[in-house]
Amino acid sequence: MSEINAGIHGMGHAYPEGVLTNADLEKIVETSDEWITSRTGIKQRHKAKENEYTSMFGTAAAKMALERAGLEPTDIDLIVCATTTPDQIMPSTGALIQAQIGATNAAGMDIFAACSGFIYGLTMVESMIRTGQIRYALVIGAEVLTKYVDYTDRTTCVIFGDGAGAAVVGPVEAPKGILATKIRSDGRYEEQLYAPGGGTKLGTTHETIDNRMHFFKMKGNELFKVAVRSMADISAEMLEKAGYTVDDVKVVIPHQANQRITDAVASRLGVPEEKVYSNIAEHGNTSSASIPIALDECIQSGRIKEGDLVLLTAFGGGVTWGASVIRF
């Protein structure tokens, strides 16, 4: 009997129709297209309307992934939604998506690992599928980050965008599937990227609102160094575990945080530029949604074909990081 791995059966992605360009931001905050582009590589980002929310985009991406996988919602055993911007505190966005797609046989839950969330979700369901605990899972990264950015802070408001990506993960025969995957975190770097207001520590008060503590705050220069080192090191470790080198990889899909970070990770790994996928110019940083959106774009465009080896790597607030090596 063939060895069973967990692999991706279908993907989908969605994002708001609304677009916020660098020219639009020039009218809101002291910045310029040149300043944003040279520091981040971003030209535009998608922005949700006031009446649009995270589960809407997660649901749209999930339905697309199910259709491409040729499965019904009732075939899904587990829905893992990675998000830092849930619809509400309770119930989970995963449970809300479960209801919206009609996945009546599934458990629904959220994981909170910021930009690494999709890889966290893949890592979680991989072992459950491989050991037979579940058969099919939906792993979703969904965010409406523009509702949490401070449009008086030009260092953060230019970066983030909204969107969602989803993958149907289920059993495949080796040598296909997820060959190596690992996640890490280090809470000592908490204040490099965080939003301190609104929790049980500080709550929601006039003071936290007046001090704009419910918006994302970031120490970009410090975050850059930790991100590059962490993503490159865990990527090299997972390639070695899977028995491959960067020469064997067809496409590298890093979390779309910042073009400078992407370039530095590729350089540290020794990956040529043409192997590294980037869509940050069009979407900005969509946190947990960035990797599944990029992965789906690569599959749909034919850049990733059957038999190709793909490396995913991410880093996010927490701090968190992870990498997965997948044979399609």
The set of catalytic residues is 115, 255, 285
Question: What residue spans of 93-148 are helical by DSSP H?
Answer: 93-101, 117-130
192: tokens are 């490099």
Q: What DSSP assignment string belongs to 205-227?
A: -HHHHHTTTTS-EE-HHHHHHHH
Are 216 and 160 within 8 A, CB to CB? Answer: yes
Amino acid 112 reads F
With b for 16 or more beta-carbon neighbours within 10 A and e for fewer, the 146-180 pattern comes to: bbbbbeeebebbbbbbbbbbbbbbbbbeeebbbbb
Sign of CA dihedral 39, 45, 48, 54: negative
Helices 54-69 and 93-101: angle between axes, nearest 10 degrees: 50
> With the CA atoms of 145, 150, 154 and 157 taken in that order, what torsion angle do they form, in degrees rounded to the nearest 10?
10
278: tokens are 């980037």
Are 74 and 103 within 8 A, CB to CB? Answer: yes
